[in-house]
Amino acid sequence: MGQLAAVVFGGAVLLSIAWPLGIAVLVGAPLLLWLTDRAGSTLRARSGDEQQAAATAAGRAADLMAGYRVIRGIGAEAEASRRYARASRAALHDTLRARRAEGVFGGVMNGVAGLFLAAVAVGAALLTVTGALGLGEFIAVVGLAQFLIDPLQSLALSTGTWWASATASARRILDELREEDVPDDAIPVAASSVSVIAPGEFVVVACEGSSAPGVLAGIRDAHPDALVVPHDAHLFAGTVRENVAGPPTPSGRTDAEPAETPRVASALHAAACDDLENVLAAGWDTAVGENGTALSGGQRQRVALARALARDADLLVLHDPTTAVDAVTEARIAERLRASRRHARTVVVTRAPAFVAVADRVVHSLEENPA
């Protein structure tokens, strides 16, 4: 804004000295910005490629760290390193291309701005030769042209590079938001199917994984107070018991202390976490690590399920809570979950046969049951 104000001020002063020169600056500055936008198309494309490559490399690194135990277990460290190295080299290549495009763009825009102001000075010289301007006015115009060099160049260069990066970022964010947005007519479950759930009813919504976001959105709309547990639930640093029990109460006593132990133990049992007491080094008091990195995928998923059950919500909504466990454990969890939730309402979004078998009601998506 400061650079723009300087250009407008310089144009207004020139307008008072020699109106043709003032109009040239006040009209030429917007044209220069338009030219900046048109010339920045290549830079915008390169900036988008650079950001995408950097995001790919960062995602590859995050996956590598999150799955490092599994990678070591199958002896795939070398292949994982090669894949990350390829992603990193691609990010470097796209970054260098973007910087080269930025350098060319900056040089061209600096040259255009300089030529524009040189033309203003030449115009002032011609007006002076013809007698339209006095010597003092000519000196003032040249001084203003020198003053406007920095604002115009900075305006063209910074606006161009900033705008290229900003639009590339905005496009990636909008693409992500559009992928997550689910139109009303794409929700695969009729709202009436889950709008009324009887007390103690155990409902299974059978749908494909791609339809699950729409299903969960429909359930949230129909039941704003429901406890919705996502498929990838996050575990916090602490022990298994602390994750299930929850944070300390205002009195300073955690839910894991004696008064709440039966509820926590019941939740752990319903989630088939009994074996963790014997398998883990310190039983339920074993530290899980940040986001459960010290646990296997199945153990982490069961602890997250136990934490949800310990909340004892009036309406609990679970999304594929047993994808990381074996079939026998899944059947055990389905039976125990059904038994532990007879006093409350439960919805499980899954196609797992074990949950379908114990459900009071199964709701199919419109894609599977068009009628």
What digits encode the pLDDT tens for the residues 73-88? 777 888 888 888 988 9
Domain 184-364 classification at class level: alpha beta
Provide CB contacts within 8 A for 112, sequence distance 6+: 32, 35, 156
Residue 173 has pLDDT above 90, yes or no: no
Q: Do residues 150 and 110 touch, judged by C-beta distance below 8 A? A: no
Q: How many CB atoms lie within 10 A of CB 112?
A: 17
Distance CA(163)–CA(152), nearest Å, equals: 16
Quote the tokens at residue 54.
Answer: 């950097």
Phi and psi (nearest 5°) for 247? -70, 165
**The CATH number of domain 2-180 is 1.20.1560.10:** yes
Mean pLDDT value across residues 326-338:
92
Residue 130's pLDDT band (boundaries 50, 70, 90)?
A: confident
Q: Where are the domains of the chain?
A: 2-180, 184-364
* Per-residue pLDDT at 369: 47
Q: Which two tokens stand for residue 135?
A: 């010597």
Max mean pLDDT among 119-133, 181-195, 262-276 falls in 262-276
Beta bridge partners of 317: 228, 347
Lowest mean pLDDT among 152-156, 229-233, 344-348: 152-156
Distance CA(126)–CA(67), nearest Å, equals 73
Other CB atoms closer than 10 Å to residue 348's CB: what's the count? 26
**DSSP H or E stretch at residue 17:** helix 2-17
Strand order in the sheet with 227-229: 227-229, 315-319, 345-349, 202-206, 361-364
**Cα(235)–Cα(309) distance, integer angstroms:** 14
Which phi and psi (to 5°) does residue 202 adopt?
-115, 110
Quick one: pLDDT at residue 39? 67
Distance CA 63, CA 361 (A): 38
Is the pLDDT at 31 greater than 60? The verdict is: yes
Among 340, 348, 282, 281, residue whose Cα is nearest residue 311: 340
Nearest to 244 by CA among 218, 259, 224, 266: 266
pLDDT, position 247: 61
- 2-180 shares its CATH topology with 184-364: no
pLDDT attached to residue 44:
74
Report if pTM > 0.85: no
Res 95: pLDDT: 87
pLDDT per residue as tens digits for the range 246-278:
765 444 444 444 445 788 889 999 999 888 888
Helical axes 297-310 vs 261-270, angle rounded to 10°: 130
Q: Decide if pLDDT at 221 tops 70.
A: yes
